[in-house]
Amino acid sequence: MRRQRRPVIVALAFLTILSGVTHALPVRAQEPSVEERLIAFSGRLKLSLSIASFAIYAPTIGDLHLHAQQLVNLLEGTRGPHYVRLAEAQEAERGLRSDMGDLLKWFGEVPLEPEARVRMAAATRNMAAYLEYALNSALFALKSRRLEPAAQEMLKTHAFLAAAYERPSGVSSVPGLWTVLYLFELVDAAGEKP
């Protein structure tokens, strides 16, 4: 009888160990959906607008430079040529400009009508241009040694970021992120979440 129990006990011990190992294996995270990526991109673009606002009203040139550098870091990501680590080391993060290159690829994952695809492509080109202009203005502000000219550059930076976000108004506007969010039904015509 004892010999018959030994294989059963060994098998149970093996299964127990095996189940512990499989629970310890890392679970591969599911790739975020296009909609989730767009919402995250939108949140980071809104954050960039806030940072630009802080820079505009900074009381000293040092404070303005700090906010301008934060904005450059957000636009370029940790691998950008103008990236400066401001605090503790963090894992590599892509910048908004890097994500712009992926937007059209993300849109390729979603079935869209041809007209919507054309509007998305136009909005993406506009956003890329505005983000490039915002980066250039922020870099110019970083080089400035006087508060007034640096604040004026950050005001331009804010305007370019606002244009990239494209908050619709009663007047005509150039397509930007809002058009993309609207076509994905992530905002309604008033700009609110449906």
| Over residues 120-124, mean pLDDT | 87
Q: Could you read off the pLDDT of 69-111 as tens digits, one per residue?
A: 999 999 998 888 898 887 665 666 888 888 887 777 777 777 8
State residue 89's pLDDT score.
Answer: 55
- Evaluated on CA atoms 146, 152, 154, 156, the torsion sign reads negative
Residues in the chain: 194
Quote the pLDDT of residue 99. 83
Q: CB neighbours (10 Å) of residue 90? A: 10
Read off the pLDDT of residues 144-158 as tens digits, 9 standing for 90 and up.
999 999 999 999 999
Whole-angstrom CA distances from 155 to 22, 36, 51 are 54, 30, 11
- Taking residues 123-131, report their average pLDDT: 92
Percent of the chain with pLDDT over 90: 39
Mean pLDDT of the chain: 80
Distance in angstroms (rounded) separating the CA atoms of residues 80 and 3: 67
CA distance 13 to 20: 11
Q: How many CB atoms lie within 10 A of CB 172?
A: 6
**Is the pLDDT reported for residue 6 higher than 80?**
no
Domains in the chain: ranges and CATH: 34-183 (1.20.120)
- Whether 134 shows a pLDDT value over 80: the answer reads yes
pLDDT at position 65 is: 97
| Whole-number pLDDT of residue 131 | 96
Q: Is the dihedral of CA 177, 182, 183, 186 positive or negative?
A: positive
In this prediction, residue 182 carries a pLDDT of 84
Q: In this model, does residue 12 exceed pLDDT 70?
A: no
